[in-house]
Amino acid sequence: MQNLMNKDFYPEDMQETILCNKIKEIKNSEEISKFLKDVEYLLKDKTEIFAYRIKEPFSAIRTYRLANYKNANKLHDLIGILIVVDKVEEIENIEKIIKEKVEVDNIKIYNLLNEKEFELRHYKKLKDVEASKYNELIFEDISKWIYIPNDLNILLPPFSYNMLCKKKFNSIDYEIPIEIRIQTKEDFITTESYYYTIHKNDNLQINVKIPLLCMSFRILRRMSNIAFEDNIEMIEKYKREIEQIKNENIDFIEENKENFEYVLSEHSKIINCWKNKLDIYQFKRN
């Protein structure tokens, strides 16, 4: 998989410099490294995938600008933990273990797993969109077809169960924001299919990227569900909805055929990797 994300982001003001300095501190902290390894030891055997990362400076600056933040403290995921489970019923147990055994503060739960009643949406190339509107416009779209918690005001991945929290470490004099994202295998595959092909693909113009991403979310999720579904009626339902979405957006899909087929091809590869128990990108299967 080719990573087409632009990595040429460097601090241009005081807040971005503060952000980069924080990340450097976090990366150099043995205390934080031990904390992450301890959490991995606690949860790894109960998951399909357990992974963590400390945000890279270029990625943090990119997020800071796309989200139109004005303060370095706005980023919620300087540390990110990804947990993938087989079935949605397992999420509750993972949440319980984290709450009982992982010492973090100010946990806020944001469940973005549940779609509203199916309705079609029409997508087309946008006009005169600034990059700083990226998160805002995607959030606006997904709020139309996913149940969004009332107090959520930042963009989180659709089809994810998110635990946002903070932790104070002795070696650092401020709280570190942590995002713990829990997903089923289907929703993990969905996310990874669009993550680099669209979301992090900085070769795509922003006025095409936003509608292409928003349209692909629901198509990919239904394709992922079909790959692991045994119920014939549910399979047929997902297929019908995929065709309805495609038919509603047939002109937009045709205009962006190469990009759309790239996404579908990546999805097929990831499904194949999962079913053959292979690693997916940097994510190791347990």
Mean of the pLDDT values across residues 234-240?
98
Positive or negative CA dihedral for 282, 166, 184, 224?
Answer: negative
What letter would DSSP give residue 73?
Answer: G
In the predicted structure, residue 152 carries a pLDDT above the cut 60: yes
> Rounded to an integer, what distance in angstroms lies between the CA atom of residue 200 and that of residue 178?
21
Query: For residue 87, what are the contacts with CB-CB under 8 A and spacing of at least 6?
Result: 184
Counting residues of the chain whose pLDDT is more than 90, the rounded percentage is 88
Instruction: Read off the pLDDT of residues 5-30 as tens digits, 9 standing for 90 and up.
Output: 677 888 899 999 999 999 999 999 99
pLDDT for res 15: 92
pLDDT for res 8: 82
Give the tokens for residue 165.
């929290």
Position of tokens 């995938």? Answer: 49
> Rounded to an integer, what distance in angstroms lies between the CA atom of residue 113 and that of residue 239?
20
pLDDT for res 36: 98
Q: Residue 259 — pLDDT band, cuts 50, 70, 90?
A: very high
pLDDT for res 209: 97
CA 83 centroid distance within chain: 12
Q: Residue 114 — pLDDT band, cuts 50, 70, 90?
A: very high
In the predicted structure, residue 1 carries a pLDDT above the cut 60: no
Average pLDDT, the chain: 95
Instruction: Read off the pLDDT of residues 163-201 as tens digits, 9 standing for 90 and up.
Output: 999 999 999 999 999 999 999 999 999 999 999 999 999
> Rounded to an integer, what distance in angstroms lies between the CA atom of residue 219 and that of residue 268?
13
Tell me the whole-structure pTM to 2 decimals: 0.95
pLDDT for res 73: 87
Q: Which of 151, 159, 162, 152 is nearest to 115 (CA)?
A: 159
Cβ(119)–Cβ(64) below 8 Å: no
CA angle 103/25/28 to nearest 5° reads 85
